Structure 1
Amino acid sequence: MRHVVVVGGGILGLATARELTARGDRVTVLEKEDHWAGHQTGHNSNVVHAGLYYAPGSVKARMSVAGNRSMVAFAREHDVPVEVCGKLVVATREEELAGLHALAARADANGVPAKLVEPAEAHEWEPEVACLAALRVESTGIVDYPAVCAALVRLLTETGTDLRLGTPALGIRPGRHGGVEIATGTEVLRADALVNCAGLHADRVARLAGLTPAVRIVPFRGEYFTLRPAAAHLVRGLIYPVPDPTLPFLGVHLTRMLDGSVHTGPNAVLALRREGYRWRDVSATDLAEVARFPGTWRLARRYPRTAVAEVARSLSKRRFATSLARLVPAVGREDLVRSVAGVRAQALLPDGTLVQDFIIESAPHQVHVLNAPSPGATCALEIAKHVADQVS
């Protein structure tokens, strides 16, 4: 029986461990925190994406559509809270209508159930929304991703998987007789293969294992607000803007959560630490690494106005509310209550390009997931199959 060590206890690491055990491997999962899903998995908006935005025929498009189905099916099978509520993508300006129609064509090409609707029909779904036209995407949902991880942990425990919290991978080297060795600080584990699902630290783990990855992880903090309970009725489901093709992120949106609250955001600002959930979370080591990387400065030169606008919105509740009011005019500054932020592990190339696709690199006895941005959680079960294939 083959022994595989998985580094990282978020949704992707746990899903990969489950897939490997289902194929007959003996698996050890190493997680440096004292709980599962401690970072990206536990700090997102819990959306099950439909596969709307990605190039037709691309791996990301295929994985998103399949991941939407498999994640919803897994949640229902294992009593994890999930709701397929659909979402509206709304055009609020004339210049956004072409982009909305392009999204509709892309949805059709990707097999995503969606239809263009006029304002009157959009208001049947979302009475308070502002739009000139909208795209109704039927298969978008919301799920409790930490609860998905808890279900995966239960399944892994039942199969006898070796699950280790508070256990970082501190050193990785080729095994003396083949395979790979992983030092944890208390022992050296010997395995036939290593899978790196370390998220915010994926590039560091790859370098620890002797690789020179082409990308660098640069952390971006996504800040959220929750609508106060008296304003939660303004949003029934999910409301998204038409994405600006000249900008790297989707823009702020509104999401009704499983508990009935309404989550708004995120904006995107450079985090001052890889796990920097607040402005005061600063790491001199992490900042120096970002500053030394040429891609950081090239990215800043490419989007200077966007960077300034995102920081300004981070510091001003009024600006954040103004962005939301473009979608739902009744939302005001007084309706926003600051919520928990998330940090996105964004892979960046030396030329300043933000890598939007999944990056999985292999080496002898090793597989490294170096980039799994949104919809990475949606696609977790599908990515796990691909990673398990690579291990094989």
Structure 2
Amino acid sequence: MEDLVVIGAGIVGLATAREVLQRRPGTSVLVLEKADDVAGAQTGHNSGVIHAGIYYAPGSLKARLCRAGVRATQEFCDEHDIHHRSIGKLVVATDDVEITRMEQLAERAARNGIELERVDGDRLAELEPRVRGRAALLSPTTGIVDFREVARAMAADVVRLGGRVVTRSQVRSIEERPGEVVVGSDTGEYRTRRLVACAGLQADRVAALGGLDVDFQIIPFRGEYYQLPHDRSDVVQHLIYPVPDPALPFLGVHLSPTIDGRVTVGPNAVLGFSRERYDRGSVTVRDVARFAAFPGMWRFAKSNLRTGIDEMRNSWFRRGYLELVRKYCPELELSDLLPYPAGIRAQAVLRDGTSVEDFLLRSTGRQLHVCNAPSPAATSAIPIGGLIADRILEPADD
């Protein structure tokens, strides 16, 4: 019998397995992953930003875990010789409305204890000569890294510490019994004292397998990116973000230098018609049928109808997408938007149509399911693993 089975070899699942093995040497830990390799879904398709935590509601798990996660991620990278850089982020305001929102954002960041510098238009021009704005907030601790590389290093740690990572092993059944949980998978049946599910885009389905009362559904949102040509890779030195609209659940299209020397443009946020197929136009009938039958989806869509239409239009017509970026970087042209892989964000939505904006954990006597792990989950993975370890290393309810 295993002491712990973790479902999902994304960065959160691997961080959890690693944390348990570090705290309790000799523990039997098994990580099951349905894909061919670790970090193949959200972890391997994100923007690679180590977030400082300036956006999140004071007192939320997001705020607390992100702040701890910045340092933990940097220390992990240093220990494992993983290249990362603290290049800083500029949140740029271009009009009076955005300046007001920027000040509100600065107040929120201050309540979270996040280091920020207010930048006027002249200083912004010095920092980023090709960016236009009336003012900005500079977050000097925001950084960049390849989170897939981080996750692979975590998987290596799990194995080095005595755990196992088994790929091509989709979980098909979960049965909680007195004293154990029985997990049926493509690679066999496993008995375990504890189960942690970090299933990302399949979180609701895996929770249902475990017998939990699932009052939410994962709605996939495509985050579509472009990249700039190589000769445009010096257009910005910092991450450049717009001031977010607090009424919207996403941060807006931004310019992001990556750790491999590119500059990406994006992401937008459009409804996805497949949870795990990344090509434009991909449709998985099962996924569409599931959210089409979910009342929370229609309530969410109704309250975000105008935004959804705008995002879909800009998804199909690059010129609209470009205008979002030219608002603060006017020299970019349509020909600068080159193809780049999309990501898919797993967004938990409740039956009343409310999108879950914080981390959502649900549990039974022997199971703990991470049902919503929004950005900054990659940045926060190590402290999330610590939080989960705190809970599951307590005596199980027999």
Q: TM-score range by the shorter chain?
A: over 0.9
Q: CA deviation at 1:296?
A: 0.9
TM-score (norm 1): 0.98
Task: Show the counterpart of 1:270.
Answer: 271
Name the CA distance, whole Å, in 1 between partners of 2:125 and 2:109. Answer: 21
Change (3 A) 1:169 1:2: closer
Task: Show the counterpart of 1:10.
Answer: 10
Name the CA distance, whole Å, in 2 between partners of 1:155 and 1:389. Answer: 20
TM-align CA RMSD: 1.2
- 2:6–2:32 contact (8 Å) kept in structure 1: yes
Q: Is residue 191 of structure 2 the alignment partner of residue 190 of structure 1?
A: yes
Name the CA distance, whole Å, in 2 between partners of 1:154 and 1:303. Answer: 42
**1:175-209 CA deviation, whole Å, 9 max, x = no partner?**
3x521000013421000010000100011000001
Q: Aligned residues: percent identity?
A: 46
1:331-346 paired onto structure 2 within 5 Å: 331-346=332-347
Name the CA distance, whole Å, in 2 between partners of 1:241 and 1:297. Answer: 28
Name the CA distance, whole Å, in 2 between partners of 1:338 and 1:34. Answer: 25
- 1:221–1:276 contact (8 Å) kept in structure 2: no
- In structure 1, list runs of 5 or more residues that go unmatched: none
Task: Show the counterpart of 2:204.
Answer: 203
What count of residue pairs does the alignment treat as equivalent? 391
Name the CA distance, whole Å, in 1 between partners of 2:236 and 2:274. Answer: 33
- 2:362–2:370 contact (8 Å) kept in structure 1: yes
1:253-332 paired onto structure 2 within 5 Å: 253-332=254-333
Task: Show the counterpart of 1:240.
Answer: 241
**1:26-74 CA deviation, whole Å, 9 max, x = no partner?**
1000000011100000001000000101122322211111111111111
Q: Is residue 174 of structure 2 the alignment partner of residue 168 of structure 1?
A: no
Q: Is residue 181 of structure 2 the alignment partner of residue 154 of structure 1?
A: no
Q: Secondary structure at the match of 1:330?
A: coil
- 2:60–2:358 contact (8 Å) kept in structure 1: no
1:71-220 paired onto structure 2 within 5 Å: 71-175=73-177, 177-220=178-221
Q: Secondary structure at the match of 1:82?
A: coil
Q: Structure 1 counterpart of 2:142, which letter?
A: T
Name the CA distance, whole Å, in 2 between partners of 1:244 and 1:228. Answer: 29
- 1:220–1:269 contact (8 Å) kept in structure 2: yes
- 1:112–1:139 contact (8 Å) kept in structure 2: no
**1:64-93 CA deviation, whole Å, 9 max, x = no partner?**
111111111111111111101111000011
Q: CA deviation at 1:173?
A: 0.2
TM-score (norm 2): 0.96
Task: Show the counterpart of 1:384.
Answer: 385
Name the CA distance, whole Å, in 2 between partners of 1:90 and 1:187. Answer: 52
Q: Secondary structure at the match of 2:196?
A: strand
Q: Structure 2 counterpart of 1:105, which letter?
A: E
Q: Secondary structure at the match of 1:343?
A: strand
